[in-house]
Structure 1
Amino acid sequence: MKILHLAMHEGSGAGHAASRLHLGLLKEKADSSMLVMQKGSEYQSVVKLDKQTVLFKKLQAKLFGSILSQSFGRKTTFSINATPSLIKNRIKNFNASIINLHWVGWEYLKIEDLKNFKVPLVWTLQDMWPFTGGCHYNQECDRYTNSCGACPQLRSGQESDLSRWVWQRKAKAWKHLNLTIVAPSSWMADCASSSSLFRNRRVEVIPFCLDTEKFQPINQQESRHSLNLPQDKKLILFGALSATQDKRKGFHLLLPALQSLSKSGWHDQIELVVFGSSQPEKPVDLGFKAHYLGQLNEPLSLRRAYSAADVMIVPSIQESFGQTASESLACGTPVVAFKATGLKDIVDHQKNGYLVHPFDIDDLAKGIAWVLEDEERHSTLRIEARQKAEQEFALERQASRYLSLYAEILEKDKCQK
């Protein structure tokens, strides 16, 4: 069995999820390769596209991003994948038995090219784009359950708009694909199953994995010392890519919760730690002193940040899974998150963290306080957090589940030929 993973990059949450699965399969002695546009590791099994192709794809993505922004009056995360992929021959050279698709937006892979792959396909859902008319998260729109059109993210009132065109291309090109869907959470699986594009597809749930040896607890005092953080405070951690700018990450909900918590008697006991964002020129009043760590890309620096904290807050409005939450649990740090979307599968309420009623700011403040206010309970939460990560998210466990799925798909494909 030769496995090929297609992903735009190794970085960001989606890229990390794809590369972690790939490395987990390698640890299980599987023949696994990965083809990316942007490479960040030194692994020979991860192959980067040639410079000319990468440059061309970046120009395509920039052009279409500019057109969309100008056409709809704002920057929007929307992929139409209409330009030639230019990677058909590269894919053929891998001679793969099965191809696993990951995040392939922003013109990395043309929609119509999937039907040219003559092997079974598995699509690991990093977001909602595979079953929408172009958006990566639907926000509050349910039109992907029909045929899109009149897209609110495009500020469109027309049924036959860009989103309907993208949806129609997907429906036509993917109708006869040998395609299996893997969702990282039960919420994402439900969304895929209710979509008009994947309603009749097989959908499996396999959580994203992580290396529980790279992500494990470090002594809290040593972690704080290495990051120049105070030893005598309760530390609240919040972090994501563009942590304070991306509305989907929920900083606008965390802010009033922190301000409320500060006024309730915690002001001198707590400080905030933020990664994924640098200190703004004009900092807002968070209610507590804040330490900005900037971008943390290496597992060790992330591990230190998680281990230094007393609680991790993941106030995202929508997440396909929520890898900062699973990483935090692996480092023994309880997580507070909304009881919504993919995070429901990671956090067990009052066992390894606290699940907040969506999207209740008062309950968010209450959940943070609940985790911090009892030392004995906090110690138990830390133990349970690490155990959840070892039992559910370890590389070996997920790689084994994927290998079983691949084998089943290939056997079925063999019998049908």
Structure 2
Amino acid sequence: MKILHVSSFDLSGGAARSAYRIHRGLQEAGITSQMLVQFKSVTDQSVTTSEGKLLARVRSFCNDLTLSNHSQSMFSSQWFPDAVASKVDGIDPDIVNINWICNGYLQIETLSKLKRPLIFTLQDMWSFTGGCHYSLGCDRYTISCGNCPQLQSHREADLSRSVWHRKAKSWKNLDLTVVAPSEWMATCARASSLFRDVRVEVIPFGLDTSVFKPIDPRIARELLNLPQAKQLVLFGAIDATGDTRKGFHLLQQALHHLLEKGWGDRIELVVFGASKPDKPLDLGFPVHYLGKLQDDLSLQIAYAAADVMIAPSIEEAFGQTASESLACGTPVVVFANTGLADIVDCHQNGYVAKYCDTADLARGIAWVLENSERHQRLRQAAREKAVREYAMQVQAHRYLSLFHKILDSSQPIAGWSHS
């Protein structure tokens, strides 16, 4: 069995890292697995590019041209032609696993040219919307988009409707299986007009539990020059303080609730994914900015140094910072009604707050921190859940089972057959 994963990046960003982990997990399970990417950063010979860096940058630039009159950048129309189909033919896989393919990498119409069973692993909502990566509360993807709030559009026949029509037309006869990393994302996909008649499975994203594992918090804090005597609250994401979807503004409000409850001299905040701003925000607590952490070891140390990780996203396909934190033995506090709620078991390895309720978010942080014996039990349960549910070997087994089901049920496609 030969599997090909198609992704814009191999390691840059959470979506790319999750795709690469799927790839690596399958390799370790003895499966022939390759990646085809737009931008390659690893030295791994099983990862190849479909074009030169200059063309890749031109493609990304051209894709953004359709948004020149719009303020929303997390919107992808994927109109620029590509040569991915011929590359796929040359590799000749049994199944193609499509991951995050935006940034202009894969034209929407290319999927129908791949002539193989396809899996679409959902890294965000783009595949079943008219172009946005997250709907931000809009439900027009359940019909046919148009009047797109992210494009500040008041027309039915806008760019989002056009992108939706292109997907509906070119994907209607695909041999397609959708894999969502969480029940929340699966529910969204099943409600969408594009995927409501498509098979949707749930397979959580995996991680290397031999890398993401507990270490002595005192050593981690010493390495990061963090205080030993305080309880540390960790928050982090790509563009951690700038991306509204990640919920930093909601964490700010929760911190003010904690300040009012007398936590002012007990906790300090640690932030990764953002540098210290020129004009630091007054959050009521000291803040330590770690900047961008690019490698797994740096992330592991940050998680291990913290007493609790906060992931207050308002929309999230899964939330790898939460699963990574659990693997390092650090409890996590999240909101309900996102993919993160799959990861955290309330009162077992963290706390699940009412959706966007900042007072309850503060209560969750306090609950995790206020009892040292309970905190130690939460730490142990966090690690146990990560090993049980998110180890790459577990993920690989789940994908392998799905591959067999797909190949057993797939009908021959003109120009291709699997052995």
Give the structure-2-normalised TM-score.
Answer: 0.96
Residue 83 of structure 1 contacts residue 110 of structure 1 at CA under 8 Å; is this kept in 2? Answer: yes
Give the count of matched residue pairs: 413
**What is the CA distance between 1:66 and its match in structure 2?**
4.8
Number of the residue aligned with 1:60: 59
The alpha-carbon deviation at position 39 of structure 1 amounts to 1.9
CA displacement 1:23-48 (0-9 Å, x = unmatched):
00000010000011122222111112
1:152 aligns with 149
Contact 1:80–1:106 under 8 Å retained in 2: no
1:369 aligns with 2:366: yes
Shift of 1:243: 0.1
Provide, for residues 151-206 of structure 1, a one-character-per-residue CA deviation record: whole Å limited to 9, x for no partner. Answer: 11111111111111100010000010000000000011111111111110000000
Q: Could you tell me how far 1:408 is from its partner in structure 2?
A: 1.2
Say whether 1:105 aligns with 2:124.
no
Deviations 1:233-284 (A, max 9, x none): 0000000000000000000100111122123211111111000000000000
8 Å CA contact 2:66, 2:77 repeated in 1: no
Structure 1 residues without counterparts, runs of 5 or longer:
none
The one-letter code of the counterpart of 2:78 is N
- 1:18 alignment counterpart: 19
Partner of 1:201 in structure 2? 198
Q: What one-letter code is carried by the residue in structure 2 that aligns with 1:160?
A: A
Question: Once superposed, which parts of structure 1, at least 4 consecutive aligned residues long, lie more than 3 Å away?
Answer: 414-417
User: In the aligned structure 1, how far is the partner of 2:135 from the partner of 2:76?
Assistant: 13
The amino acid of 1:263's aligned partner reads: E
Q: Which amino acid aligns with 1:6?
A: V
* Aligned residue runs from structure 1 range 103-142, under 5 A: 103-142=100-139
Which residue of structure 2 aligns with residue 38 of structure 1?
39
> How far 1:341 moved relative to its partner?
1.2
Q: Is the contact made by 1:276 and 1:294 (CA closer than 8 Å) also made in structure 2?
A: yes
- Correspondent of 1:379 among 376, 380, 395: 376
Deviation at 1:20, TM superposition (A): 0.4
Deviates more, 1:106-115 or 1:316-325: 106-115
Distance 1:66 1:291, change over 3 A: farther
Q: Indicate conservation of the 8 Å contact 1:314/1:337, yes or no.
A: yes
Tell me which amino acid in the other structure corresponds to 1:62.
Answer: F
Return closer, same or farther for 1:111/1:66 CA change in 2, 3 Å cut-off.
closer
- In structure 1, the residue matched to 2:9 is 9
Aligned to 1:242: 239
SS in 2 for 1:37: strand
- Quote the residue 1:392 is aligned against: 389
**Distance in structure 1 (CA, Å) of the matches to 2:412 and 2:9:** 35
Q: Secondary structure at the match of 1:266?
A: coil
Alignment of 1:270-285 (within 5 A): 270-285=267-282
Q: State how far apart, in whole Å, the 2-side matches of 1:196 and 1:121 are.
A: 19
The one of 257, 260, 263 equivalent to 1:260 is: 257
Say whether 1:220 aligns with 2:211: no
CA RMSD of aligned residues (A): 1.2
Normalising by structure 1, we get a TM-score of 0.97
SS at match of 2:4: strand
Q: Which residue of 2 aligns with 1:48?
A: 49
Which among 180, 183, 201 is matched to residue 180 of structure 2?
183
Alignment of 1:342-357 (within 5 A): 342-357=339-354
Query: CA offset at residue 67 of structure 1?
Result: 4.4
- After superposition, give the CA deviation of every residue in 1:44-83 in whole Å (9 maximum; x if it has no partner): 11112332xx322322322442541x312x2421000111
SS in structure 2 at match of 1:348: coil
Aligned to 1:333: 330
* Identity fraction in percent: 55
1:71 match: 69
